[in-house]
Structure 1
């Protein structure tokens, strides 16, 4: 498999356990994973690399996922349109509209349904 067969996914998650689970699952879907543990790192990696998708926890240190998403969406480049899937263990405490108003394309509640996650990754990266 060549490098171009892979989809590049930025996983923004401060939990190492969830980060590692996402990595293992997405590797089976031919995704190349880059991880970020806080919102500031997300923005830094987003600016320096090209990704096909971001999976963004909303409860990140330094800069929360909703704010990081708004920052990405405020950009004037084509990169600002990158698909972003929000994930949260507190999704029941937030109206769904908060995710979409921040600019996220979709969201999932934790614990994650990995079949649904793969379905969303394929939907937003165009890989089937």
Structure 2
């Protein structure tokens, strides 16, 4: 799987270099790489099931199953945006539409609280500095509501990137914080993390092998480290979602394929917590003795931690 992961990563890196006439060829290459990965995973699964006997024929004629939406993760997340500046509302709304979300807009924290009281939202994107009621006050008020509304994930958006402010906002009840200007990739990661977890994951410590994390990125040329980090977050989100979808549907083959892929990606960056919780779930799965919730929490905690760990352990790009 290591060279297959390298192939997929290389195709992702090529995306920024491919000109208009090469986009179609890149799409064909990605499709071929995905099919090759499916073949490899199925061969490995058959070998494991048959005592490492690779002699069984594999026709490869059956198309891979279409990934399903993970359990509890809507195909089109319904998002409330609280932002008092019109231009900022426009930018965030456009990013969310690009990510497949439906959007409701309000202009201050008080209006956000009333909207959450009246209507179900999968998550809230909350500006911090707003009139009438700021984002921190609105978050605390929402957390004080009764019923499911109090557990709505809230992603804070702030003009400051100070760690002290981020910690204060998380302590107020926010699920994650983003600094302006909001990047599409960072917003997507925050949304997927919130939807995968379905709860406040800040109390769950992400478990990493710090030495492996440092070596993985430090051994790369400086120009590729940020891309590797973004690719790792994207892959963990993708394969964790496929694991959850397979659990929900009861598809054992899809579960095994996604679990193998997720394990490989996680070990590449030393995300041992994901691997450990997935192994515990697989061990108890045949006896119906395992809950998938610790795995969900490990994935969400890992995704929230990657950027901070990267900033702390990886040399600055030169």
Normalising to structure 2: TM-score of the pair?
A: 0.37
Change in 2 beyond 3 A, CA 1:68/1:79 = same
Structure 1 residue 91, shift from structure 2 partner: 4.0
Structure 1 residue 115, shift from structure 2 partner: 1.0
| Inter-partner Cα distance in structure 2 for 1:60 and 1:91 | 17
Task: Say how many residue pairs are matched.
Answer: 125
Question: Equivalent of 2:127, from 41, 57, 62?
Answer: 57
Structure 1 residue 125, shift from structure 2 partner: 2.3
Which residue does the alignment assign to 2:194?
124
SS in 1 for 2:145: coil
Q: Which has the higher helix share?
A: 2
Q: Does 1:30 align with 2:100?
A: yes
SS in 1 for 2:102: strand
> Which is bigger in relative contact order (C-alpha 8 A, separation at least 6)?
1
SS in 2 for 1:5: coil
| Inter-partner Cα distance in structure 2 for 1:112 and 1:28 | 14
Q: Where do 4+ consecutive residues of structure 1 move more than 3 Å? A: none
With 5-14 and 63-72 compared, the bigger mean Cα shift is at 5-14
Ranges in structure 2 where 5+ consecutive residues have no aligned partner: 1-73, 197-236, 239-318
| Inter-partner Cα distance in structure 2 for 1:89 and 1:124 | 21
| Inter-partner Cα distance in structure 2 for 1:93 and 1:81 | 24
Structure 1 residue 34, shift from structure 2 partner: 0.4
Larger-gyration structure (1/2) = 2
Q: Which has the higher strand share?
A: 1
Normalising to structure 1: TM-score of the pair?
A: 0.89
Which residue does the alignment assign to 1:44?
114
Ranges in structure 1 where 5+ consecutive residues have no aligned partner: none
Which residue does the alignment assign to 2:141?
71
Change in 2 beyond 3 A, CA 1:76/1:68 = same
Structure 1 residue 94, shift from structure 2 partner: 4.8
Query: What's the C-alpha RMSD, in Å, of the aligned pairs?
Result: 1.8
